[in-house]
Structure 1
Amino acid sequence: MPQSLSLVVVHFIFSTHDRFPCIGPSVRPGLHAYLAEIARDLNCDCYRVGGVSDHVHLAVRLARTISISEFVEKLKTGSSKWMKKQQPELGGFSWQRGYGAFSVAPADVDAVVAYIDNQEDHHRTRTFQDEYRAFLRKYGVEYNEEYVWD
Structure 2
Amino acid sequence: MAHSLSKLYVHLIFSTKYRLPLLLDSFRSRFHDYLGGILRELEVPAIEMNSEPDHVHILFVQSRTMCLAEIVQEVKRSSSIWLKKVDSSLENFYWQKGYGAFSVSESFLEQIQIYIRNQREHHRKISYQEEYRDWLHQYRIEYDERYVWE
Q: TM-score, normalised by structure 1?
A: 0.97
Q: Percent identity?
A: 43
| Counterparts of 1:107 and 1:35, CA distance in 2 | 25
Look up the match of 1:64.
Answer: 64
Matches within 5 A, 1:31-110: 31-110=31-110
What runs of 5+ residues in structure 2 fail to find an aligned partner?
none
Shift of 1:115: 0.5
Cα RMSD over matched residues?
0.8
Moved more, 31-40 or 67-76: 31-40
Shift of 1:16: 0.2
Look up the match of 2:4.
Answer: 4
Look up the match of 2:146.
Answer: 146
Q: TM-score, normalised by structure 2?
A: 0.97
2:102 partner letter: F
- Residue-pair matches, total: 150
Structure 1 contact 36–48 (Cα < 8 Å) conserved: no
| Counterparts of 2:47 and 2:76, CA distance in 1 | 18
Q: 4+ residue stretches of structure 1 with deviation over 2 A?
A: none
Moved more, 97-106 or 23-32: 23-32
Structure 1 contact 33–49 (Cα < 8 Å) conserved: no
Structure 1 contact 83–90 (Cα < 8 Å) conserved: yes
> Is residue 121 of structure 1 aligned with residue 121 of structure 2?
yes
Shift of 1:138: 0.3
| Counterparts of 1:108 and 1:36, CA distance in 2 | 22
Shift of 1:33: 1.4
1:60 partner letter: F
1:25-77 deviation digits (Å, cap 9, x = unpaired): 01111111111111111111100110200000000001201100000000000
